[in-house]
Amino acid sequence: MLTIALSKGRILDQTLPLLEKAGISISKSELESRKLILDTNLNDVKVIVIRASDVPVFVQHGAADFGIAGKDVLLEHGANGIFELLDLNISKCRLMVASKKDQDLNKSTLKVATKYVKSAKEYFYRQGKQVEVIKLYGAMELAPIVGLSDCIVDLVDTGNTLKANNLVPIALIQKISSRLIVNSAAFNTKHKEIKLWIQKIKQNL
């Protein structure tokens, strides 16, 4: 039995066609059900659909053999017990620093609002800057506007949300896309089965 962990939302929408091309399909009724473990067209393959941030956790601890998660999530997780095997080139965006146009970013200690705490700290550490990171879970663009932070670190797709809130991108931290990850132990014990599916997915990219 192979278990695949998928992220809810945009990544799921873009992953399902990839899996289908590889020979793994999930019926509409399964996707719309309230079941936590979904059946596929194959008796020996199951799918769990969970929050994006939980995918590497499930894969790391062996609750899923492999999964698909954004690079942003993997950077925060640290990827212990996980092999990152394929860049699927879907759900592309950028992890960026953004602020108000006239914001002074040369302070001795910058206040940075983000949910990407690890990535933000590592980026500013490499820049030699002291930061106070304020963890938020949403409405990141609001933080500089109301004076909660000097800048933000967030995912940027079109940039329209930044423009609408009079913010500008300052620096690129990382280009983001969805990656296929595998549990390092499962990769050894179920190597043949996992490699087969990875090859099928790779052929259809």
Residue with tokens 């983001």: 176
The answer to whether 2-91+177-203 and 93-175 have equal CATH topology is yes
**Average pLDDT of every residue of the chain:** 94
What three-state secondary structure class fits 198?
helix
Superfamily (CATH) of domain 93-175: Periplasmic binding protein-like II (3.40.190.10)
Domains in the chain: boundaries: 2-91+177-203, 93-175
Judge whether residue 90 has pLDDT over 90: yes
* CB-based contact 6:67 (threshold 8 Å): yes
pTM of the model: 0.90
The pLDDT value recorded for residue 80 is 82
From its phi and psi, is residue 70 left (phi > 0), alpha (psi between -120 and 50) or beta? beta
DSSP state of 142: H
* CB-based contact 124:112 (threshold 8 Å): yes
- The per-residue pLDDT for range 168-196, each reduced to its tens digit, is 999 999 999 999 999 998 888 888 888 89
Residue with tokens 């601890």: 61
pLDDT class of 205 with cuts at 50, 70, 90: confident
Helical spans, DSSP H, in 46-190: 55-60, 71-77, 117-126, 142-145, 160-164, 184-189
CATH architecture of 2-91+177-203: 3-Layer(aba) Sandwich (3.40)
Name the residue type at position 181: I
**pLDDT > 70 fraction of the chain, expressed in percent and rounded:** 100
Q: For residues 205 and 36, which has the higher predicted lDDT (pLDDT)?
A: 36
* Alpha-carbon gap, residue 110 to 116, rounded angstroms: 15
